[in-house]
Amino acid sequence: MKDSIIFFSALAGGFVLYKMIGIKDNTPENTKKVIENWLRTVCKGNAEDIVSLYAPDGVLLGTIAKSMKVGQKEILGYFDMFILKKPCGYFTEINIQNFGSDYAIADGTYTFELIDKKGEIEVVPARYTFVLRRINGVWKIATHHSSAQPN
């Protein structure tokens, strides 16, 4: 009986420690790394790699999408089209809010360079919101909204 109490006490203590580490891990710096990784991945131009960063039930309101994309299959369709424009960009503003150990939101602006149908570079300033959710210890994009900046 005493061994069971010690085991369950250690187990409970480990769970509390895990939750504390999880909360500490959800920092603005780590959130920024997640979205910077998304942008680096977009610049590499592999749609499947980009989509792997989204939650299975993730939502995308893309900058040049005519409709909302729900789930990785629909998001893949968007990025299959988007990478044809050879997108790459940089962040111009980032504001981060962290919630508990498993959620974070990043809002801000970024600028993309896209190749248009004539082969010319089109500069597209846009604004974004990323809602991040930790799933099985890995940060995934739960919701991503991007829209062109108004003139």
Q: Is 85 in contact with 115 (CB distance < 8 Å)?
A: yes
Q: In whole angstroms, give the CA distance from residue 17 to residue 15.
A: 5
Size of the chain, expressed as the number of residues it contains: 151
Q: Residue 16's pLDDT is what?
A: 38
For residue 13, name the pLDDT band (cuts at 50, 70, 90): very low
Residue ranges of the domains in the chain?
28-148
Does the pTM surpass 0.85? The reply is: no
Q: Residue 2's pLDDT is what?
A: 52
Tens of pLDDT, residue by residue over 27-58, are 999 999 999 999 999 999 999 999 999 999 99
* Both structure tokens of 92: 């111009």
User: What are the Cα distances from residue 119, in Å, to 53, 85, 123?
Assistant: 29, 9, 13
Using DSSP, state whether 31 is helix, strand or coil: helix
More confident residue, 18 or 136: 136
For residue 21, pLDDT beyond 90? no
User: What is the DSSP pairing of strand 69-70 with strand 88-99?
Assistant: unpaired
Q: In whole angstroms, give the CA distance from residue 31 to residue 135.
A: 14
**Residue with the two structure tokens 């409970």:** 12
Which of the four CATH numbers 3.10.450.50, 3.30.70.100, 1.10.10.10, 1.10.3720.10 does domain 28-148 have? 3.10.450.50
Q: In whole angstroms, give the CA distance from residue 95 to residue 105.
A: 8
* Both structure tokens of 131: 């809602």
Per the prediction, the chain carries an average pLDDT of 87
